[in-house]
């Protein structure tokens, strides 16, 4: 083989290897099985008991849960990451509709009103042939726990959103919960 053929072969081999690796990681990491039982944190104390940092008031929440217009939003992909100095939490369902929350990276425990700048809620419905991108007009985000060292955060949310400049469609997002690592 000449050098050009070897380089082309190696590029194709690397691409195929990377693609296979990504596919295997995706298949292995997509287990959405609910967990049950009592879980012990790093301190050795069951979550939600008086021995935790929350003084017994800690709530255990789902990795991600919400209802859209009263119907459960079943996420198939859950992401949490920092981008442009903001913490983003996003659940995506099988139809690629998305619920996204944007928070300050140093957010503390407490209740926060959604304001479209600092505390954001976004719902994107992707139902062919239309996609509706909506921002929360009103709502709240409650942070239950945030450990910036371990990079874990949990909380609750609800909001009502509409497309920018329109009054419809209107989406009522309720019973939202998240418990993620980023």
Classify residue 50: in a domain, yes or no. no
| CA pair distance 18, 65, nearest whole angstrom | 32
Query: Residue 110: inside a domain, yes or no?
Result: yes
Q: How confident is the model at residue 7 (pLDDT cuts 50, 70, 90)?
A: low
Q: Is 3 exposed, middle or buried (0-12, 13-18, 19+ CB in 10 A)?
A: exposed
| Residue 6 pLDDT greater than 60, yes or no | no
**Are residues 138 and 120 in contact, defined by beta-carbon separation less than 8 angstroms?**
no
Note the pLDDT of residue 18: 57
Burial class for 149, CB neighbours closer than 10 Å (0-12, 13-18, 19+): exposed
Segments forming the whole domain that contains residue 116: 64-181
Q: Helices (DSSP H) in the chain: which residue ranges? A: 3-29
- What average pLDDT does the segment 110-129 reach? 90
For 69, 76, 127, the CA distances from 171, given in Å and listed in that order, are 6, 20, 14
Residue 171 lies in a domain: yes
Residue 1 above 80 pLDDT? no
Angstrom distance (rounded) from CA 136 to CA 118: 12
21 falls within a domain: no
The DSSP line for 10-39 is: HHHHHHHHHHHHHHHHHHHHT--PPP-S--
Q: pLDDT at position 95, please?
A: 87
| Residue percentage of the chain with pLDDT more than 70 | 65
In-domain check, residue 172: yes
- Whole-number pLDDT of residue 137: 87
Record the tokens describing residue 19, joined without a space.
């693609």
Neighbours of 36 (CB within 10 A): 6
- Calpha distance 125→71 (Å, rounded): 13
**Tally of domains in the chain:** 1
Tell me the mean pLDDT in the region 150-176.
Answer: 91
110 closest CA partner among 151, 52, 156, 75: 156
Q: Is 147 among the domain residues?
A: yes
User: How far apart (Å, rounded) are the C-alpha atoms in residues 67 and 150?
Assistant: 28
Domain-embedded: residue 18: no
Q: pLDDT tens digit string along 17-65?
A: 555 545 554 444 444 444 444 443 433 333 333 333 333 345 556 799 9
Lowest mean pLDDT among 38-42, 93-97, 117-121, 177-181: 38-42
Instruction: Supply the pLDDT for residue 33.
Output: 45
Band of pLDDT at residue 87, cut at 50, 70 and 90: very high
| pLDDT score, position 116 | 82
Percent of the chain exceeding pLDDT 90 equals: 53
Mean of all residue pLDDT scores within the chain: 78
């Amino acid at each position: 083989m000449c050098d050009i053929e070897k380089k082309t072969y190696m590029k194709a081999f690397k691409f195929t290897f990377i693609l296979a690796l990504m596919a295997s990681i995706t298949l292995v990491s997509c287990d959405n099985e609910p967990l049950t039982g009592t879980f012990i944190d790093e301190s050795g104390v069951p979550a939600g008991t008086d021995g935790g940092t929350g003084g017994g008031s800690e709530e255990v929440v789902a990795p991600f849960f919400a209802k859209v217009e009263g119907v459960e939003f079943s996420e198939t992909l859950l992401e949490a990451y920092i981008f442009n100095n903001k913490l983003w939490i996003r659940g995506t369902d099988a139809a690629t509709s998305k619920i996204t929350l944007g928070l300050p990276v140093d957010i503390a425990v407490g209740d926060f009103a959604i304001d479209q700048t600092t505390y954001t809620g976004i719902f994107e419905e992707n139902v062919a042939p239309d996609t509706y991108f909506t921002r929360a007009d009103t709502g709240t985000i409650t942070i239950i726990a945030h450990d910036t060292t371990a990079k874990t955060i949990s909380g609750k949310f609800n909001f009502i959103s509409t497309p920018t400049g329109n009054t419809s469609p209107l989406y009522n997002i309720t019973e939202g919960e998240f418990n993620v690592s980023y």
